[in-house]
Amino acid sequence: MTSSKGLEFKIEERSGVSQGRILCISVLAILFALVIAGLFFQLFGVSALKAYRLIFSGSLGSSFGLAETLRRAIPLLLCGVGLTIAFRALFWNIGAEGQLLIGAVAATGIALFSEIPAPLLLPAMFLGGFIGGALWGLIPAVLKATLGVNEVITTLMMNYMSIYLVEWLIHGPWKGPSARGFAYSETFPPSAWLPTISGTRIHWPTLFLGLILSVLMYILILYTKSGLEIRIMGENPEAARYAGINSLKVTLLVMFISGGLAGLAGVGEIAGIHQRLLGPTHISMGYGYTAVIVAWLARRNPLAVIFTSLFFGLLITGGDVIKVSLGLPSQLINVFNGLILFFLIGSEFFLHYRISLLSRR
Amino acid sequence: MGWENWIITTFSRSLAYGTPLLLGTLGEIYAERSGVLNLGVEGMMIMGAYSAFTTTYLTKNPWLGMLVAGIIGGIFSLIHAFTSITLKANQIVSGLSLTMLGLGLSGVLGRGWEGKPLASTIPKVTIIPLSHLPLLGPILFQEQNLIVYFTIISVPLLWYILFRTRIGITIRAVGENPATADSMGINVSRVRYICVLLGGILAGISGGYLSVVYRPAWTEGMTAGMGWIVIALTIFAFWNPVNGMLGAFLFAALYHLSFRLQPYISPELLKAMPYAMAIIVLIFVSRGTLQKRIGAPAALSLPYTRGED
């Protein structure tokens, strides 16, 4: 019981939480974050209403905007679905950004230097990208499960390492001849280009892959023995040990999936959009970090990631629009992200606790 | 006397580069000792760097700049304190959002400040008789910055408070067993708020040191992961300020030695070295933790609710 200024509040823990309440509180949290972010627009001398109108009309109001929203959602979907699996086991994978880049590197290696014939080249790139991302993700998993090394730090440090690995490749051994000012690898042969929906940058094979995987991961987490083990480990590590669940095996499994899916996102970005390896900030622009919010907003439900990734695809696209038309800095999207995440976790208090005003005695 | 100069430069540069790491680590040690994991160090540091630079640029007073950096870092840390202590939110996600917010906000506000020269900075001092000592003189007492000295002096002080005073016992009790501390009449939330605030102030000053003293300029994202290295050093230090100092300067020395590899390794891979080193350092201490069974404060990152175990 807490009392302040003569009013008495009672804080009780709620027993069950309905889906409707979760949705309602999440939407409220986002609205609050957008209101606070609106103050920043005012700070820059831009009317918040005008800015939000531009964000929504720019991302939803035209076929170009819709297509951009969808193509931004693809990497967020793949990374986000992977993160829900890791987060279910309470493995804090903050390294999707790096795993994505390693996936891109693996796919580039296959596209440029393998002798794989045309129809098999793209599947080989996806496979290689998955394995690359998964291996990169397994390193922190092994360190955590065997030595107890904090995974937040290792996954983050490995993001920086992968950034410089890409930089090294495009400035050094994989440097292409056609670079003018910017460093690139050579352009992929056309058989390594992903098809897109005409007139857009939506590389639909990656989109389908993401949708299929979100359904598969939903089934994995809710209806399989491995999924049960993952959930028990995340909800009650004591009980998991008591039940004889092999924590090494579960940790490796979730990071194999989580890293692999982020790797697939990397393949999609370079085979579907850039068709060559280029600067790390051009490949990803922080999809791996945004995916943390995407997964959290989805309450770690792989199916819900479909919707939350679309929402953040919309925000990124809208952010691009106001950047160009209002001249606002591109870092604004990070302010959005940080605020939304804050209000989201803050709002969880109201999911799990009930606050009521007590009558004075 | 080539080798002598070589040693002097390496150690002297290590003190300069290790200082911001140490400042951040000292603050994080206090926060974590009270049971609150704050992964927002990177965000608080970069906000400190931004606010110190702009304040110093506008007022030409670097001390005011450091003060403002401390205040801004402190205010930022209170956001994390509120969500993680009062609202009992997940501390990992809360700290992460603090970092995102700090990087984003400083990037937005800092546009237009890049490339501006800073006219005034905190003076370097040479302590005359001591600077003539062989080796140690030039390393410790010649052309070092005042902030470096303040930071080093604060280490024994913070160690003493944590391990030899009532305040320190209170902080550690709250981090080890909040329920018992609560039953002894300690206000768990208040102790945690204060420790998180101290961590924020020190992280802010650490950022200010970067933009006003270490490399007097503002660049977007200039902390470049140092806030995360601070988190790693806190673990490396086993939550002890003295170990924190050893860790920070050792790390800084390795960082500088890695630049000696410049002729043999490409610059991009060289830039990846500190991050690889942080991982290796953690692997190293993790082996120690497993064997000696010394570890994090027992209630680290667990919110406290009265009446629960």
From first to last of the 361 residues of chain A, give the pLDDT tens digit. 444 455 666 777 676 677 888 888 888 988 999 898 888 788 878 888 888 898 899 889 899 999 999 999 999 999 999 999 999 999 999 999 999 999 999 999 999 999 999 899 999 999 999 999 999 999 999 999 998 898 999 999 999 999 999 999 999 899 987 656 778 899 999 999 999 998 899 999 999 999 999 999 999 999 999 999 999 999 888 888 888 899 999 999 999 999 999 999 999 999 999 999 999 999 998 899 999 999 998 989 999 999 999 999 998 998 888 888 888 787 888 888 889 888 888 888 888 777 776 655 4
**Do the Cβ atoms of A274 and A183 come closer than 8 Å?**
no
Q: What is the mean predicted confidence (pLDDT) over B278-301?
A: 76
Residues of A in contact with B225 (CB under 8 A): 156-157, 160
CB contact under 8 A, B93 and A341: yes
Give the start-end residues of each E strand in chain A: 2-4, 7-13, 353-358
**Lowest mean pLDDT segment, chosen from A111-120, A237-246, B173-182, B205-214:** A237-246
Chain segment A62-116, per-residue pLDDT in tens: 999 999 999 999 999 999 999 999 999 999 999 999 999 999 999 999 999 999 9
The CATH fold of domain B2-292: ABC transporter involved in vitamin B12 uptake, BtuC (1.10.3470)
Q: Are A65 and A255 in contact (CB under 8 A)?
A: no
| CB-nearest partner of B282 from A149, A339, A348 | A149
Residues of B in contact with A92 (CB under 8 A): 92
* Overall average pLDDT of the B280-299 stretch: 74
Q: Do B228 and A92 touch (CB under 8 A)?
A: no
Residue A305 domain-assigned (yes or no): no
| B25: chain A residues, CB-CB within 8 Å | none
Residue B292: pLDDT over 60: no
What domain range includes position A229? 73-299
CA distances from B143 to B15, B127, B252 (A): 11, 9, 18
Alpha helix positions (H), chain A: 19-43, 48-60, 63-88, 96-113, 118-142, 151-171, 204-223, 225-235, 237-242, 247-269, 280-283, 287-297, 305-326, 332-352
Asked if the Cβ–Cβ distance from B107 to A334 is below 8 Å, we say yes
CA distance B227 to chain A (A): 10
Distance from CA of A318 to the nearest CA of B (A): 16
Residue B59 structure tokens: 């007022």
pLDDT at A209: 97
What does the block give as tokens for B125? 């001092």
- Residue B308, pLDDT score: 57
Pick the range with the lowest mean pLDDT from A328-342, B101-115, B130-144: B130-144
Mean pLDDT, chain B, integer: 89
Asked if residues B31 and B198 have their Cβ atoms less than 8 Å apart, the reply is yes
Q: What share of chain A is helix, strand, coil (3-state, %, to 5)?
A: 70, 5, 25
pTM here? 0.90
Half-sphere exposure of A264 (CA within 13 A, CB side): 26
* DSSP label at residue A166: H
Please tell me which of A204-218, B218-232, B251-265 the model is most confident about, judged by mean pLDDT.
Answer: A204-218
For A63, residues 6+ apart whose C-beta sits below 8 A from its C-beta are: none
Binary contact (A345, B97; C-beta < 8 A): yes
- A33 within some domain: no
Average pLDDT over residues B234-240: 91
- Residue B294 has a pLDDT of 62
* Minimum-distance CB partner of A164 among B93, B101, B269: B269
Selected residue with higher pLDDT from B60 and A17: B60
State what percent of residues in chain B have pLDDT above 90: 58
Give the chain B residue whose CA is nearest to the CA of A296. B93
Chain A residues touching B290 at Cβ < 8 A: 147-148
* pLDDT attached to residue A3: 43
Predicted confidence at residue B108, as pLDDT, reads: 87
Q: Which residue on chain B is closest to A349 by alpha carbon?
A: B87
What pLDDT, on a 0 to 100 scale, did the predictor assign at position A360? 52
Instruction: Calculate how close chain B gets to A175, using CA atoms only, in Å.
Output: 13
Q: Which of A36, A97, A157 to mutate to test the interface with B (most CBs of B within 10 A)?
A: A157
Q: In angstroms, rounded to a whole number, what is the distance separating the alpha carbons of residues B10 and A37?
A: 45
Write b or e for each residue in A309-321: b if 16 or more Cβ atoms lie within 10 A of its Cβ, otherwise e: bbbbbbbbbbbbb
Which two three-digit tokens encode residue B258?
């890695």
Average pLDDT of span B198-222: 94
CA distances from A206 to A23, A119, A259, A264, B162 (A): 28, 16, 16, 8, 54
Tell me: pLDDT of B289 over 70: no
Asked if the Cβ–Cβ distance from A168 to B220 is below 8 Å, we say no
Distance CA A33, CA A342 (A): 8
The sign of the dihedral angle between the CA atoms of B68, B72, B75, B81 is negative
- Asked whether the beta carbons of residue A167 and residue B102 sit closer than 8 angstroms, the reply is no
Neighbours of A271 (CB within 10 A): 27
Q: How many CA atoms lie within 13 A of A300 on its CB side?
A: 19
Is residue A167, in this structure, part of any structural domain at all?
yes
Q: Are B21 and B232 in contact (CB under 8 A)?
A: no
Give the distance from CA A227 to its chain's centroid: 21
Q: Which two tokens stand for residue B61?
A: 């007073």
Residue A108 is predicted with a pLDDT of 97
**A35 Cα distance to chain centroid:** 24
Inside any domain, residue A107: yes
Query: SS3 for A115?
Result: coil
The interface pTM score, or ipTM, of the predicted complex is 0.87
Q: How many domains does chain A have?
A: 1
Q: Do A164 and B266 touch (CB under 8 A)?
A: no
**Do the domain assignments include residue A328?**
no
Residues of A with CB under 8 A from a CB of B: 40, 92, 94, 143, 147-150, 152-154, 156-158, 160-161, 163-165, 167-168, 171-172, 289, 292, 296, 328-339, 341-342, 345-346, 348-349
CB contact under 8 A, A345 and B101: no
Looking at residue A4, its pLDDT comes to: 46
